[in-house]
Structure 1
Amino acid sequence: MFDLKWIRDNPTAFDAGRERRGLPPLSAQVLDLDQRRRAAQTRFQEAQAKRNDLSRQIGQVKAKGGDASAVMAEVAALKDGIAAAEAEDQSLGAELDALLASQPNLPADDVPDGPDESFNRVERTVGNVRNFAFKPKQHFELGEALQSPTGSLMDFEGAAKLSGARFVVLKGALARLERALALFMLDIHTTESGYTEVAPPFLVRSEALYGTGQLPKFEEDLFKTEQGFYLIPTSEVPLTNLAADTIIDEDKLPWRFTALTPCFRSEAGAAGKDTRGMIRQHQFMKVELVSIAHPDHSEAEHQRMTASSEKVLQKLGLPYRVITLSTGDMGFAAQKTYDIEVWLPGQGAYREISSCSNCGEFQARRMKARCRKPGEKGTRFVHTLNGSGVAVGRALIAVMENYQQEDGSIEIPEALRPYMHGREKITRE
């Protein structure tokens, strides 16, 4: 959401920011609606003031025993005009709000310009890519070949019987490894990075999704229940909305939250993409990081959050790179995003495993989340940040592919062995 006063004062900058995202100018339409709405508000206020003045005159005339019928008729004649001006104000306000609510955040100055991912900027590459003495397999080839008495440890066919495409059933040691990864991440973020663990609801109201920007624009990507609740696409939604309709003392900031939750996405725009394996599913586990930050400190918080996500991959010994997304590749609510891409030897490519975004005050305006100095009346909108810390399923994929052995077994990284009861390798059961 945007500050109308800022758009009035900076229409050229508003349109320039949109142009960087590949969008057409909008300031003229916004300012026209705003001007018409303010004119309607002025007519409404002036008519109300006139009615109030005439009402006082009626009392004065009657107090003197005079005939107030002419003044009363004038008051009655104002009624329709007041109602019309009020209705126009509400209609134009709703139209303006709907227009602005469907517009993405403006990019930060240091975000690279470009229409798509090919313009993303690599910031750093960390770790050494393993030199395999054999042709490495993709995770689904490895997982399906790992058998147990109950079948494959990575069972897509069984999941399809239950739920259809883009689901998986993990069994035995792979199910345990996924759980180990999640607990490992939570321990890092809570004990080393200072995040507070939260167990949030997985069902939220539409207001929460509006606050973080998934609604109204991206409703087709969501799963909605018959009772009107939505399954969360990420725990960014409930965690960020903990600050909604709240004024926080500045000295209590930042708020830092982490949560392990399932995430549910329809993948409406992903037809034909990553149809094999666990890369893109309707349901997946993710450890999320959310910060509610002072507006003067959000850039430092963004760097800190990204480093927290990187720490997970460093401890797992997984090679990765950090990129800054271009203006054409950023998400709707972000003003700047760092993606962390892990190396997948089975694909011979880096793939996203974490996305850390600074949303500035964009979400806070939608949620009415503010801060103020203790003892002062004035408030400022907080800045909100969110990041994957990291996607558990994709971390499982990365561990399987990077730690695979020629016989199809999976070596377990040392950092995870305490969570696996000391187990060092996953083999056929």
Structure 2
Amino acid sequence: MSAALRQRLERAIARHGVPGASLALWHKQELHEAAAGSANLRAQIAATPDTLFQIGSITKLFTATLILGLAADGALALDQPVAELLPGFALADTDAARQVTVRQLLCHSGGMDGDFFKPHGRGEDRIARYVADCRDLPQLHPPGALFSYCNSGYVILGRIIELLTGTHWDRALKERLLRPLGLRETKSLAEEAIRFRCAIGHAPHPDTGAMDITPIAYLAQSNAPAGSTVMATARDVIGFARALFGMGGALVPPLPAALVQDMQQPQIAVPPHYPMRHWGLGPKIFDWNGVRGFGHDGVTIGQQSFLRVIPERDLAIVLLTNGGDANGLYEDFIGTLLSELADIGLPRLPAAQPGAVTDRAVYTGTYEKLSARIHITEADGALQSRSEVNIDFLGGFRPMTLRLEPVDAALWLAPVPDSAMPYPIRFLDFGADGRPAYLHMGLRAYRRVA
């Protein structure tokens, strides 16, 4: 099966312009692996199953597991306010800083702005200094009121881990999780990963448009608990997933059954246009026509990762990539595997209904968070979206005006050039004046400011 998977993966990455990819598939008590393409186009290093890729925000499942382990030890309670665990913890909203709980950080409902990527150096105090700077983070919504993906919350969880274990996050990860599980090909520090074959991210060169390695290898190291630095082989991620979801593996020491059940239960609803229905204590929760699944994705500098787990079908899939149309590759390649092995079809966005909305003026305005400001305007009888990005790691972002087409009063689609799939935008919390308080896109809430 692995040879056939490799051939299919080679064809798929060519279709989607992905330089290199590594796949691990666990099904019916067997592990299958495949890799294709290049780990580094410039150095001409081939991608193999032994290649470490950046797993990005899949790291959040590791951080969540460490937190659940501390809860099992009695060192913290999931509904305990963060301020009780972090002396001096502060946010721009002092009430929110007093109220936000560990559970809310785990399921991205804490409400503080999550896209805070200010570098804080490479020292062992980098996470502590990051959390100290969270005192200036604005609040997008009250704690627990809404789902909005929050990297900052997971760095704060990383600091809780440091204080309760008495060591820095990298060491806690290694000693409490990686080493007991035998995950020898998962590394959070570049000086450890360099002993392995490593993938680097790729992006179009700003002058030629040809795919080239990215000028920056990693996101800020202070964001490590949220996913900025960890690299792993696909098979190591499968090993972790099998242990976490009880598929022929087990955490060491095991989590109490009640905590495992809590982790896998819906904690907060995700706006309905996204592929997942809810978020748990770490994982996304999917409902594919009655088949329950879990997972997480990750995005770093030129690299993307995907994890899907269906315990009732004894199926887990990990796809690690280093550039190109990784989302298209996921829809194409992983979508086909899920259909073949689990009779699951990935959900599709509904079609636009041009006459669904007549009063477009109520949507116009400016919506923002730390990472971007989005202007919604009306022109020639249609809504338009234009983004100003405040965080542009590669310096290649070009503002683009997109025409929005309604599905209904809340959900709109933005057709994107060179993409077969439109970008969904949902408006939330309509007031008495008919105007929405939030725009939700890319799993994030943008608060109306004008």
User: Same fold per TM (> 0.5)?
Assistant: no
Structure holding more helix per residue: 1
Per the normalisation by structure 2, the TM-score is 0.23
